[in-house]
Amino acid sequence: MNVIITGDIHNEFGRLNDLINRKKKYLDLVICCGDFGYWPNHPFEQLSNIRNHGIPVLWCDGNHEDHWALRERDTDELAPNVFYMPRGSTYTLEDGRTIMFMGGADSIDKDLRIYGRNWFPEEIITQKDLMYLPDMKIDIFITHTCPEELYPIMVKFYIGKEIEPSNYALSELWKIYKPDLWFFGHWHYFSHGSLENTKWYALSHPGEGTRWWMWLPKPN
């Protein structure tokens, strides 16, 4: 499979549409690392604006989503071939690798937002999110933010973000599964490195203009 991973989209579905349109000849799947832009009660920020040419788009939640609307959804397919991947859910690629999704992070701008309208306390990863994890090998993590081990690296790029419960929860997740690859967004800056044997990639977002997407590396 040819898979594209993106960082935060933040409702910039036109940029996502353009990317998919340019790569559709070779593209099988798109995966987004949270802050996708799920605001169903805002008329100009609809997933129906996505033009994905039938190519599946999978996304985990970030901190900037309508978490109450996500909680009340009837299905995970929130637009044609656009799927929300709940925390702890998995997806197996055709090459046999299994992906785990764990969205969520803390908003540094929550003091400027309105409770229940554009800020929701459910944005943070909790112990409840870690209670029913699958007992299986996980090869790839898709998360919104990073584990605490990477916080000292990423905070250099976004000084305003503070370490928070989601970072600690992701550290626990990493200790359980030790995946080969890890992709996250949230920090709006591209970086990469290794955490023991896990290769990690922090992806930017379209507004930054650089390195907001990449092809998923093929298995060895």
Specify the CATH number for the domain of residue 74.
3.60.21.10
For the chain, the domain total comes to 1
Q: Which tens digits make up the pLDDT trace of 87-130?
A: 999 999 999 999 999 999 999 999 999 999 999 999 999 999 99
- SS3 of 155-211: the string is CCCCCCCCCCHHHHHHHHHHHHHCCCEEEECCCCCCEEEEECCEEEEECCCHHHCCC
pLDDT at 170 over 90: yes
Position 78: which residue type?
L
Say if 165 falls within a structural domain. Answer: yes
pLDDT at res. 28 = 98
Say if 220 falls within a structural domain. Answer: no
For 22, the domain range is 3-215
Phi-psi label, residue 88: left if phi above 0, alpha if psi -120 to 50, beta otherwise = left
Say if 54 falls within a structural domain. Answer: yes
Supply 43's token pair. 């008329």
The pTM for the full model equals: 0.97
pLDDT at 51 over 80: yes
